[in-house]
Structure 1
Amino acid sequence: MSNAIAQTTSHCSNGLLYASWNQDQGCFACGMENGFRIYNTDPLKEKERQDFVDGGFGHVEMLYRCNYLALVGGGPRPKYPPNKVIIWDDLKKSQVAELEFSSDVRSVKLSRDLIVVILDDRISIFSFSKNPAEQHRIQTTPNPYGVCVLCPNNNNSLLAFPGTEIGHVSLVDLANMRRAPVDIPAHEAAVTCLAFNLQGSRLATASEKGTLIRVYDTNKHDQLLELRRGAANAHIYCIAFNHDSSFMCVSSDHGTVHVFASEDPARNKQSKMAKAGGLLPKYFSSRWSFAKFNVPDGQPCICAFGSDKKSIIAICADGSYFKYSITSKGECLRETFSKFLQMTDD
């Protein structure tokens, strides 16, 4: 699943089923085998905890920092059937709306006006209201991991998801559905991770190979950057831009978080053999991350920037929280470590 760790935590005994950022990465939400939890990212603090003795959640989607959440049951004892989306009002501590489907829900995205539900072979868009009504339905290719991203900017209604051709991305403006989707031929292999910057002017993509991250201009649809995570295949868990889009971080199942300069690509590392130009394979001219760090034991993790662009946060499936600072020399120094599942709001 794009920019989340979901169902990858079954090997852990901590009850964590799912974790993802809110729209600006200022908070993260956790689906547990017995409820859900909300945390402030930087500084780390538990903001909300709802425990249920009768079940858990495989998906928790925040709407910025407001009181509404989208919940999908999950784990060995789902709180709700996995084919339902529950809109939860955390002020009232109760559900205020329910959407039911004929198949399991793979992912949910929220904006102030819309509820976007990703199913195996379609995306359904509903009004965010007391009685949500389906406004649009988009047929898609099989999407079992719910790969989809909704622009976090309220003034931008772009939605991106895997296109009809393998490796392609469809870009749709939900505010103008009469306009045909834009097709972006991003990769040769299937697309598995997508991320917008906060403004919605940039779209980052990764495929199931996980070796290259490409960045596109969402207005002109041109490729702006090609960045190399590594040479060996990897599963990308998360891509995140910082607030001004000058940096981008990427986490993968190799247990490494890479940091790229996205506005000044010359800061990224390059092989000394790149000067040979066309005489050598394209690999040698690749731009590599200028900074990186490893999480212990290669834990699945999602990454984001902290309260400033020189700090990186990693949230891991084993309940670990790491904060690293980036030096001017491109070194990553650990500042903070905590076990966030053991925290309380006291």
Structure 2
Amino acid sequence: MTDLVAISFNSKKNCLLCSRKQGFKVFDLSPFQKRFNRKFTEYGIKMIDQLGESNLFAIVRMTNPKKLYIWDDYQSKNLAEITFRQPIRVVRMFIDKLVVCCITEIVFYRFSDLEREKVIKTGRNNPNLFATTSARNNLHTLVVPHTEPGYLLRFVFSKNPSSNHFKTFNQKPINLLQLSQNNKLVSVCTSESNLVRVFECSSGICISQLQAGKKRTTISSMVFQDLGNYIAVVTSRSFLHIFDLPRDLKQLKTKTKEKMGVTFCKIAFQKRKPITSCQIPTIPKMKLLFLSQKITIYSLNGKIYEFKYDPQNKEIISIGKPKQFMK
């Protein structure tokens, strides 16, 4: 057993952040090596986020889930503290903003002086229902559950800010969501089925329905490939599935049909099966990366599992034995 409490990526997805029962550890992902290691004997770390690759961290301790600390690891001291009415579910740091996700609201701060900018009400949040992307370390896109079950709320932070919401499932609460790195696609699923729906963000149109395994399977984790051509899905039966995604989004959006409030493009009515699948070990609480043709699974058991997708032969190949990064 490791002393890991939680694992996550920084906003650039080039560092692995490890919350521990007595401190935290940060690893560079390429090449994989230790970057920070801080031990606190008085308290454990419930969650942590990092500003890019810098020495600044947002920390929530296990002793008080409603209080956020801004920690400077070079000076080994707290720079600020913020207390919230609700327990904190997720925190994200960007050069321009600090975003704190609580149970039913999200609070935005200007990072330079921690001045509160706005608060938005959402559906019930958990760490699997909060997705962001960044541009030059600034917040670009945020996707969270809407107050109405089955709906998503999307915000774009740029020179021309915008927001929209759209329906994904009929009266079923969303259990898991993922945002593509190019901000164009979002994938969602519920806790009741093996079905993943992929939506084009700006229009809210479902462009694909993906069926992962047998009916009595649910989705444990999923991630878009960095190039946006595929999506990897891990199920509760410990199968890794690879699906291909439609390429020409403009053409797909020309013919649409609405069903129970959800807008589908024509090809999305037919559920897609995976290109290829493989059995993997039973892995507790994982984080996935899909870079080019390589899929990496980081697990709360302190191990790294690596796979390669071969598009020519349409197969998944395991790369060596699992590597232990935390003991």
How high is the TM-score relative to the length of structure 2? 0.83
2:264 paired residue number? none
For 1:340, the aligned partner's letter is F
2:175 paired residue number? 192
After TM superposition, the structure 1 = structure 2 runs for residues 160-175 of structure 1, keeping only pairs within 5 Å, are 160-174=143-157
- The answer to whether the aligner puts 1:300 opposite 2:285 as a matched pair is yes
Query: Which structure shows the higher strand fraction?
Result: 2
Segments of 4+ in structure 1 off by > 6 A?
none
- Contact 2:302 / 2:326 at 8 angstroms: preserved in 1? yes
1:341 paired residue number? 326
- Contact 1:253 / 1:300 at 8 angstroms: preserved in 2? no
1:110-159 Cα offsets, whole Å, 9 max, x none, are 22211111111211111112x30110101123335572212233476322
**Which residue of 113, 132, 142 maps to 2:124?**
142
- Root-mean-square deviation (CA, aligned residues, Å) is 2.7
1:9 paired residue number? none
- The answer to whether the aligner puts 1:225 opposite 2:213 as a matched pair is no
2:36 paired residue number? 48
Q: Give secondary structure in 1 for the equivalent of 2:53.
A: coil
- Contact 1:119 / 1:146 at 8 angstroms: preserved in 2? no
For 1:190, the aligned partner's letter is P
After TM superposition, the structure 1 = structure 2 runs for residues 74-89 of structure 1, keeping only pairs within 5 Å, are 74=62, 78=63, 81-89=64-72
Q: Taking every aligned residue pair, what percent have the same amino acid on both sides?
A: 19
Runs of at least 5 residues in structure 2 that lack an aligned partner in the other structure: 249-266
For 2:271, the aligned partner's letter is S
Runs of at least 5 residues in structure 1 that lack an aligned partner in the other structure: 1-12, 266-281
More off after superposition, 311-320 vs 246-255: 246-255
Q: Give secondary structure in 2 for the equivalent of 1:198.
A: coil
How high is the TM-score relative to the length of structure 1? 0.79
Q: Give secondary structure in 1 for the equivalent of 2:13.
A: coil
Higher relative contact order (CA 8 A, sep 6+): 1
1:26 paired residue number? 14
In the alignment, the residues of structure 1 paired with residue 217 and residue 60 of structure 2 have an alpha-carbon distance, to the nearest angstrom, of 28
Change (3 A) 1:141 1:297: closer
1:267-324 Cα offsets, whole Å, 9 max, x none, are xxxxxxxxxxxxxxx9994212223334323433221124xx1111001121110111
- The answer to whether the aligner puts 1:240 opposite 2:223 as a matched pair is yes
**Which residue of 312, 315, 319 maps to 1:331?**
315
2:260 paired residue number? none
Number of aligned residues: 305
